[in-house]
Chain A
Amino acid sequence: MSAIPNKIARRPFVAGVLAERGDALIVLGLGSPTWDAFAAGDSPEYLYSWGGMGLAVPTALGVALAQPGRRVVCITGDGEMLMGIGSLGVVADQAPANLAILVLDNESFGETGRQRGLTSARTDIAAVGRAFGIASTRTVTEQSAVGELADFLFKTPGPALAVAKIALTEDPWALPEKDGAAIAQRFRAALGAP
Chain B
Amino acid sequence: MSTHDWSADVFRAMQARNIATVLTVPDGGLTRLLRMVEAEAAMRLVTLSTEPEGVGVATGCWLGGSRAMLAMQSSGVGNCINALGLPAAFRAPCLMLVTMRGQWGEFNPWQVPMGQATRPALEAVGVKCFPVDRAEEVGETFAAAADLAFYSRTSTAVLVGQRIIGAKGFGQK
Residues of B within 8 A of A188 (CB): 63, 65
Contacts of A192 in B (CB 8 A): 65
Closest chain-A Cβ to B75's Cβ sits at a distance in Å of 16
A63 touches B49 (CB 8 A): no
B39 within 8 A of A: no
Chain A residues, CB < 8 A from B91: 180-181, 184
Q: Is A183 an interface residue (CB 8 A)?
A: yes
Question: CB < 8 Å: which of B53, B60, B92 contacts A84?
Answer: B53
- A62 contacts chain B at the CB level, 8 A cutoff: yes
Q: Cβ of B62 < 8 Å from any Cβ of A? A: yes
A56 to B57, CA, bound (A): 9
Q: Are B64 and A86 in contact (CB under 8 A)?
A: no
From 51 to 92 in chain B, residues with beta carbon under 8 angstroms from any chain A beta carbon are 52-66, 68, 82-83, 85-86, 88-92
- In the complex, what residues of A have CB within 8 A of residue B82's CB? 52-53
Q: Give A183 to B63 CA distance when docked, in angstroms.
A: 10
Measured between alpha carbons, how far is A65 from B64 in the docked complex, in Å? Answer: 8
Per the 8 Å Cβ criterion, residues 13-70 of A in contact with B are: 27, 47, 50-67
Task: For B8, list chain A residues within 8 Å (CB).
Answer: none
Which A-chain residue is minimally distant from B86 (CB atoms)? A52
From known contacts A55-B86, A180-B90, infer whether A66 and B60 are also in contact, taking CB-CB under 8 Å.
yes
Partner pick for A59 among B21, B44, B56, CB 8 A cutoff: B56
Q: Please classify the interface of chain A as helix (H, G, I), strand (E, B), loop, or mixed, using the class held by over half of its residues.
A: helix
**CB proximity of B155 to chain A, nearest CB, Å:** 13
Contacting pair B54 A58 (CB below 8 A)? yes
Asked if A62 and B85 sit within 8 Å, CB to CB, the answer is no
Task: Name the one of A56, A61, A84, A184 contacting B90, with C-beta atoms under 8 angstroms.
Answer: A184
Within 8 A of B (CB), among A90-139: 90, 93-94
With an 8 A cutoff between CB atoms, is B152 at the interface? Answer: no
Q: Is the CB of B63 within 8 A of A62?
A: yes
> A94 — which chain B residues lie within 8 A by C-beta?
46
Are B85 and A51 touching (Cβ within 8 A)? yes
**CA distance in complex: A84, B54 (Å):** 11
B65 touches A59 (CB 8 A): no
> B15 an interface residue at 8 Å Cβ cutoff?
no
> Once bound together, how far apart are the Cα atoms of A192 and B63, in whole Å?
10
Q: Nearest-CB distance from B84 to chain A (Å)?
A: 9
Please determine whether A61 and B47 come into contact, CB atoms closer than 8 angstroms. Answer: no
Closest residue on chain B to residue A188 by CB atoms: B63
Are the C-beta atoms of B49 and A87 separated by less than 8 Å? yes
Q: Find out whether the CB atom of B64 lies under 8 angstroms from the CB atom of A89.
A: no
Least Cβ–Cβ distance between A27 and chain B, in angstroms: 7
Does chain B have a CB within 8 A of A194?
yes
Q: A90: which of B53, B58, B61, B88 is its contact (CB, 8 Å)?
A: B53
CB-CB nearest in chain A for B18: A194
Is there an interface contact between A63 and B64, defined as CB atoms closer than 8 Å? yes
Is A66 a contact partner of B65 (Cβ separation < 8 A)? Answer: yes
A1 within 8 A of B: no
- Residues 83-107 of B, flagged 1 when their CB comes within 8 A of A and 0 if not, give 1011011111000000000000000
Pull 22 A–B residue pairs with CB atoms less than 8 Å apart, ordered by A: A47-B63, A51-B86, A52-B86, A52-B89, A54-B52, A54-B56, A55-B52, A55-B53, A58-B56, A58-B60, A59-B60, A59-B63, A63-B64, A66-B63, A67-B64, A67-B65, A84-B52, A90-B48, A180-B91, A183-B90, A191-B65, A193-B63
Give the 6 A-B residue pairs with the shortest CB-CB distance, closest first.
Answer: A62-B60, A66-B64, A58-B56, A86-B49, A193-B65, A180-B89
